[in-house]
Amino acid sequence: MEQTMEATQSKPVPGGNNVLVEFEDGIAWVHLNRPEKRNAMSIELAREMNQVLDALELDDRCGVIVLTGKGEAFSAGMDLQGFFRASDAVSDVERHRAYRETRAWQWRTLMYYAKPTIAMVNGWCFGGAFTPLICCDLAVTDEAATFGLSEINWGIIPGGVVSKAISTLMGDREALYYVMTGEKFDGKRAKELGLVNEAVPADRLKDRTRELAKILLEKNPTTLRQARMAYKYAREMNWELAAEYLTAKGDQTTFVDKEKGREKGMVQFLDEKTYKPGHGTYKRGSE
Binding site for ligand COA (CB under 6 A): 37-38, 40, 76-81, 124, 126-128, 150-151
Considering the complex, state which of residue 131 and residue 223 has its C-beta at the smaller distance from ligand COA.
131
Query: From the CB of 28, what's the least distance to ligand COA, in Å?
Result: 25
CB 105 within 8 A of CB 132: yes
Q: Which is nearer to ligand COA, 36 or 244 (CB)?
A: 36
Q: Which residues does 262 contact at the CB level (< 8 Å), separation at least 6? A: 253, 254
Q: Which is nearer to ligand COA, 105 or 126 (CB)?
A: 126
Any bridge partners for residue 139, and if so which?
119
Give the residue with the Cβ less far from ligand COA, 28 or 195.
195
Least distance to ligand COA from the beta carbon of 241, Å?
A: 35
Q: Which is nearer to ligand COA, 112 or 154 (CB)?
A: 154
Shortest distance, CB of residue 220 to ligand COA, whole angstroms? 39
CA dist 267 and 265 (Å) reads 6
CA gyration radius, the chain: 20
| 276 CA to centre of own chain | 30
Smallest gap from Cβ 206 to ligand COA, in A, equals 21
CB 135 to ligand COA: min, Å: 16
Task: Let me know how long the chain is.
Answer: 287
Rounded to the nearest 10°, the torsion over CA 98, 104, 106, 109 is -160
